Amino acid sequence: MTHSEPNRFTRAFDALDKVAKAIDAPLAIVGGMAAIRYGYPAMTDDIDVVASRDSLDLLLNHAPRFGLRVQWRSQSGWHTLSF
């Protein structure tokens, strides 16, 4: 997919893609953004990402290198990052 003018979502997706490649682990986009990607109407102001439990620490440790800030670390695994 080619974007003529990057917005905050495309920049965040690029950062997530770079993190996934750096840690060699897949990330799944779910929620509103996934619905929009597949043509369903949805309103959202965030990107919901799923990572394997095994790759969470790597994701959280590498995210800042790509402009993602860890806002919240949760014992249950529901962490919050911002871009």
Distance CA 21, CA 5 (A): 23
Contact status, residue 55 vs residue 63, Cβ threshold 8 Å: no
- Burial profile 26-64: b = 16 or more Cβ within 10 angstroms, e = fewer: ebeeeebbeeeeeeeeeeeeebebebeeebeebbbebbe
Distance CA 16, CA 8 (A): 12
3 pLDDT more than 70: no
Distance CA 61, CA 40 (A): 33
In the three-class reduction of DSSP (H, G, I as helix; E, B as strand; rest coil), residue 32 is classed as: helix
pTM comes to 0.81
Mean pLDDT to the nearest integer, 53-74: 92
* pLDDT tens digit sequence for 9-47: 889 999 999 999 999 999 999 999 889 888 999 898 888
